[in-house]
Structure 1
């Protein structure tokens, strides 16, 4: 969990550091143009993975010696999907840009990163299946760190424009592939026979079963940024992007807890441990959200510029949405771990449909605040459905997912102590043995 946490922590920290740079250099309208250009990129990648990286990870985890076959077939699928996604983005530019020719040109540039980013997902799936978590973490660190290293010189030399910013934001994630240069040396020997688990048909079938829920969750959290420009304006999107970047900071810890909880509950289901993970994750997120919410009124405009002061109330509401979603997200991981991922997908689909409807109704009237309200309602629905379904099927009480117990504080204390001891052992100088 600590390795996963470090990997998850780096991208939002870099986003928070690079956010003021983009805001100060581009202004609200320019920042909105870049967000409008790159939002379809993220959406296309999410839509067109078809669950293949997860399917590759599953096949490799079950039979590591099938890794080469799984990699080859997975890459073939995502290449075809990537070409279709790139074409779709190019064709949809006139509508997604709200008719702005400049944004259309930026979207065309960003669309070139669709295919390599999808192929990177296959590499990530291989590393995850082989449990090479350090490589996965390094990918995130490299991609985020290199983005900041490129943005800073561009900003200092007055070369940071909507075009150069779009190129950096689209291309730097692909550079995370450098972390996997050592991957070929870590692969096991190839299997003499294929039992069908890593075939193209098997990977596609497994991936599609996961894809519905995955895509609904991503749409729930990202469709608002794609629809903001045609429904409102690039200015409102500029405010909303900043608010989203701030509000997602508490999710860094939660996602690490969720990912580890999924694996441990799949190995051995324990209701008490699952509920404790939900409570502890919510507690930590609440502390972080409280610190952000009570202070951002003065530091957010100072970091991003006075023009972004309007993002503060939007970020407040999004922080509430994050806290509401945390217990239900752990409950959804429990459903997937216990063999019922379709029910988690159902909850996300229902929430996504409601979210899109509210976006169409509220964003033209309230702009960024309307998108925040739609996000909050969608998160409430998905979280509640996950908890209800888990309780109905597996008898886990909803109230066990909420509040704080004495045992939760003890768990946090013990984890903190073990982490400090681990760091101390690494920092302690080693004694040289006498010859």
Structure 2
């Protein structure tokens, strides 16, 4: 339960902060915040080089290497983070669409890249030591600090793109203090194993997923302006409501299928999670014209069409997301990465073609195409390597009710 709370806290906090940011900053201000923080978030993810995962793996295999592995990982990512920060600073003017004030915010976010990477290493060390309480504490603290800072600044009338950028960049660093108790658990330690070999194999596979999720927000300001990005970010926030449920099902499916392969259970999970996400998405889609202007502000009513496309993208991508978990669980993570790579290339091309003329709608359409492509490629790969019919991932069967009961029992036990 501790781990579940830790995983859910950032998503819940982000959803809670979204209306506050939108109401306080307006369309353009919300876009400026996203333009300032998107390069920071993308750089932090790209600069990991797979080192945190490699550190977790090494420490989990032998706790004696924890101290030196942690120091080596910190040294590697300090260098990688410094390079990433310099690149972001050099590109700040381009990423800000030529706005010097916005470029300053982008550079401010870049200053937090190295500290955020350091926190990622400490999180990896804690995971390798099975210190899940510390991991959950860090995640909850980071979510609470960001949400609390945003709410307090808004209440004081001091929430601006600048202060919101500081809160967003500083929250994960402050949360890293949760790992202070690790100092007493590391000891002196044995010689640390190499980290980059194992880590880079994982990192290369995850790059496409990162690009698919982040690159549109990084490119939107130079292509269409901060106001278009402001509308798109709110549309993304709205579409994440049905995504929370499917993500939970995907994680449980991965664990269950890795333990014991079961095609019927896998496909039933895909169908049920898709049906549940569709039900949530339908409610969100039908009602959002009424509540979006109230919750986010009248200026964000224009985000509704883009949000509708993104909700459809999320719902239609659920079966393939579960299929991707099945591929990874059955020893074929590279095939899932290949699906994401193809989708990422198509998505970037469509963003470049559609966003300048169509703004948030163009970005949402590009995401929809990318989601459909990666989803169905995952299902196609699973048919090739495991013989699971593609049709088994769609629709609802009479037997799915019993599968739903079993899934709920599994989730409760976990």
Deviations, residues 333-355 of structure 1 (Å, cap 9, x unaligned): 22223222222211111111100
Instruction: Tell me the equivalent position of 2:71.
Output: 72
The correspondence for 2:368, drawn from 376, 381, 385, is: 376
Instruction: Tell me the equivalent position of 1:428.
Output: none
Deviations, residues 65-108 of structure 1 (Å, cap 9, x unaligned): 33223322222221111111110100001111110001011111
Query: How many residues are treated as equivalent by the alignment?
Result: 414
Find out whether 1:241 has 2:240 as its counterpart.
Answer: no
Instruction: Tell me the equivalent position of 1:207.
Output: 199
Instruction: Tell me the equivalent position of 1:160.
Output: 159
Instruction: Tell me the equivalent position of 2:220.
Output: 228
Deviations, residues 264-303 of structure 1 (Å, cap 9, x unaligned): 4334433333323323332332232222222221111101
Instruction: Tell me the equivalent position of 1:346.
Output: 338
The correspondence for 1:413, drawn from 405, 409, 414, is: 405
Instruction: Tell me the equivalent position of 2:9.
Output: 10
Rounded to whole Å, the distance in 2 between the matches of 1:6 and 1:283 is 24
Instruction: Tell me the equivalent position of 1:171.
Output: 170
Find out whether 1:85 has 2:73 as its counterpart.
Answer: no
Rounded to whole Å, the distance in 2 between the matches of 1:92 and 1:205 is 29
User: Contact between 2:269 and 2:403, CA under 8 Å: does it hold in 1?
Assistant: no
User: Contact between 1:73 and 1:199, CA under 8 Å: does it hold in 2?
Assistant: no
Structure 1 357/308 Cα, relative in aligned 2: closer, same or farther at 3 Å? same
> What SS does structure 2 have at the residue aligned with 1:181?
helix
Rounded to whole Å, the distance in 2 between the matches of 1:179 and 1:291 is 38
Structure 1 102/320 Cα, relative in aligned 2: closer, same or farther at 3 Å? same
Deviations, residues 361-408 of structure 1 (Å, cap 9, x unaligned): 100111000000000101111111111111101222222222334444
Rounded to whole Å, the distance in 2 between the matches of 1:268 and 1:60 is 26
Rounded to whole Å, the distance in 2 between the matches of 1:269 and 1:413 is 19
User: Contact between 1:4 and 1:256, CA under 8 Å: does it hold in 2?
Assistant: no
Rounded to whole Å, the distance in 2 between the matches of 1:262 and 1:416 is 15
Instruction: Tell me the equivalent position of 1:366.
Output: 358
Deviations, residues 27-70 of structure 1 (Å, cap 9, x unaligned): 11111111111110011112111111222222233334332233
Matches within 5 A, 1:147-296: 147-185=146-184, 198-200=192-194, 203-296=195-288
Rounded to whole Å, the distance in 1 between the matches of 2:311 and 2:50 is 29
The correspondence for 1:357, drawn from 349, 358, 372, is: 349
Rounded to whole Å, the distance in 2 between the matches of 1:125 and 1:407 is 40
TM-score, normalising length: structure 1: 0.88
TM-score, normalising length: structure 2: 0.93
Gaps of 5+ in 1: 424-435
Measured on the aligned residues, the alpha-carbon RMSD in Å equals: 2.3
Post-superposition offset of 1:242: 0.5
User: Contact between 1:8 and 1:255, CA under 8 Å: does it hold in 2?
Assistant: no
Rounded to whole Å, the distance in 1 between the matches of 2:29 and 2:222 is 16
Rounded to whole Å, the distance in 2 between the matches of 1:267 and 1:323 is 27
Matches within 5 A, 1:416-435: 416=408
Rounded to whole Å, the distance in 2 between the matches of 1:79 and 1:87 is 12
Deviations, residues 98-128 of structure 1 (Å, cap 9, x unaligned): 1000101111111111111111111222233
Post-superposition offset of 1:416: 4.8
Find out whether 1:386 has 2:385 as its counterpart.
Answer: no
Gaps of 5+ in 2: none
Post-superposition offset of 1:185: 4.9
Instruction: Tell me the equivalent position of 2:18.
Output: 19
Instruction: Tell me the equivalent position of 2:59.
Output: 60
Structure 1 281/7 Cα, relative in aligned 2: closer, same or farther at 3 Å? farther
> What SS does structure 1 have at the residue aligned with 2:241?
coil
Structure 1 419/36 Cα, relative in aligned 2: closer, same or farther at 3 Å? closer
> What SS does structure 2 have at the residue aligned with 1:245?
helix
User: Contact between 1:53 and 1:125, CA under 8 Å: does it hold in 2?
Assistant: yes
The 10-residue stretch of structure 1 (38-47 or 120-129) with the greater mean CA deviation from structure 2: 120-129
> What SS does structure 2 have at the residue aligned with 1:360?
helix
Structure 1 273/253 Cα, relative in aligned 2: closer, same or farther at 3 Å? same
